[in-house]
Amino acid sequence: MEPVLLYITASGREEAISLGRELVSERLVACVNILDGMLALYWWQGEIEHNQETVIIAKTLASHVERVIARVRELHSYSTPCVLAVPVVGGNPDYIAWLRAEVRD
């Protein structure tokens, strides 16, 4: 049960709060941090786009990544939502123990 950070982008604060609340309430993640006001520049359908987005950093376990991705795809307003898993190589053992206890099957 290795901890993982998920980097997720949302169209704005309200969508990020809604997604985060759903993921936490379903115990798919232990915690989310919501960072508002990010500017995204990216290629989309052959053109460079730029939009304000909101970042969600979710803390979960590697065993839950696929379920979180599936749930985000169901709930998200984007046809191709950004969800990237970043392995955690260390951290406060007490926090990691808490994270493991809060994420459930």
Q: What is the pLDDT along the chain (105 residues), one digit of tens a residue?
A: 899 999 999 999 999 999 999 999 999 999 999 999 999 999 999 999 999 999 999 999 999 999 999 999 999 999 999 999 999 999 999 999 999 999 997
Q: What is the pLDDT of residue 4?
A: 98
pTM (global) more than 0.85: yes
Q: What is the pLDDT of residue 1?
A: 82
Closest by CA to 78, choosing from 9, 25, 2, is: 9
Q: What is the pLDDT of residue 105?
A: 79
Please give the structure tokens belonging to residue 47. Answer: 């053109």
Q: What is the pLDDT of residue 98?
A: 97
- Calpha distance 13→33 (Å, rounded): 11
Domains of the chain: 3-102 (3.30.70.120)
